[in-house]
Amino acid sequence: MFLESIDFAQMYREHKKATDFKGKDRNDWNDKSKEMAASVINSPYVNDFISRMNIAGDEVVLDIGCGPGTLAVPLAKKVKQVIAIDFSEKMLEELETYAAREGVTNVKTYHLSWEDDWSSLPKADIAIASRSVEVKDIDMALSKMSSQATKACYLTYKTGGSFVDMDILDYIGKKIITKPDFWYIPLILYKKGYLPCVDYINTQRTAISYSSVDEFVASLIWSVHELNEEQQLKARKYYEHFIIEKNRHPKPFTWAFISWATEI
């Protein structure tokens, strides 16, 4: 079969290394935890994700990169237990606050990253990774995720290769190498012997959060790491002309929803 000769995992690693979108560290997400908790909890995305899962109610679910409990807490109301892991301790604190507020007591948290040793984790029936698979080695992540789940895995990954509307980047003159797109994932899974299913979740959320031109520029810098003075000036012009005058807002996200049975 022609796919056997193609090393998609290595292609992903090389692409990820070259991209201008570099991963955030735990300190970045610690600083972002309260803002993120306010913006994603109880969003329509939660129901869109959970409604695509096959759950009976007696499952143990592993939530990898759980953030502030966006899915962990709502899922805990529907299943036996949720094991939630994240490399940001502040995100886990936000999750615990959210769980207490909702009266949820069946979530157990672990301060772990994708790269850490998971031998302390109990096995789960289902593993999920919601918008949390921006890793250097996707092959490693998919293998670890699959090995922890006895029944099925579900993840979402941004489509299009950019967290920022390309129209904005073109306007301000910021040339980028896009990040790996989601198609690496089903191809790698297929080569591992799984039969992944792909669906899509459309959201109104974008990478750019703003209530002023300064927040707009700061959010752009968060996403692409740096803008020179000319690019920042053009970003301000974009905000004034397109967002304020023409009410043209950044394009919302489309997430690829990828699922696969681990009982093969």
Domains of the chain: 2-164+176-207+249-261 (3.40.50.150)
Angle at 201 between CA 79 and CA 179, to 5 degrees: 110
Q: Is the dihedral of CA 47, 51, 53, 58 positive or negative?
A: positive
* pLDDT in the model for residue 204: 76
Asked whether the beta carbons of 115 and 132 are under 8 A apart, the reply is no
Bridge partners (DSSP) of residue 257 are 156, 199
pLDDT in the model for residue 197? 98
Residue 189 in this model has a pLDDT that exceeds 60: yes
The tens digit of pLDDT for each residue in 213-247 reads 998 998 888 888 889 999 999 999 999 999 998 88
* Residue range 187-197: mean pLDDT, rounded: 96
Least confident of 150-159, 230-239, 249-258: 249-258
For residue 151, pLDDT beyond 80: yes
Q: Is the pLDDT of residue 171 over 80?
A: yes
Of 3, 5, 13, nearest to 135 by C-alpha is 13
Asked whether the beta carbons of 191 and 8 are under 8 A apart, the reply is: yes
Average model confidence (pLDDT) across the chain: 91
The tens digit of pLDDT for each residue in 105-141 reads 999 999 999 999 999 999 999 999 999 999 999 999 9
pTM: 0.89
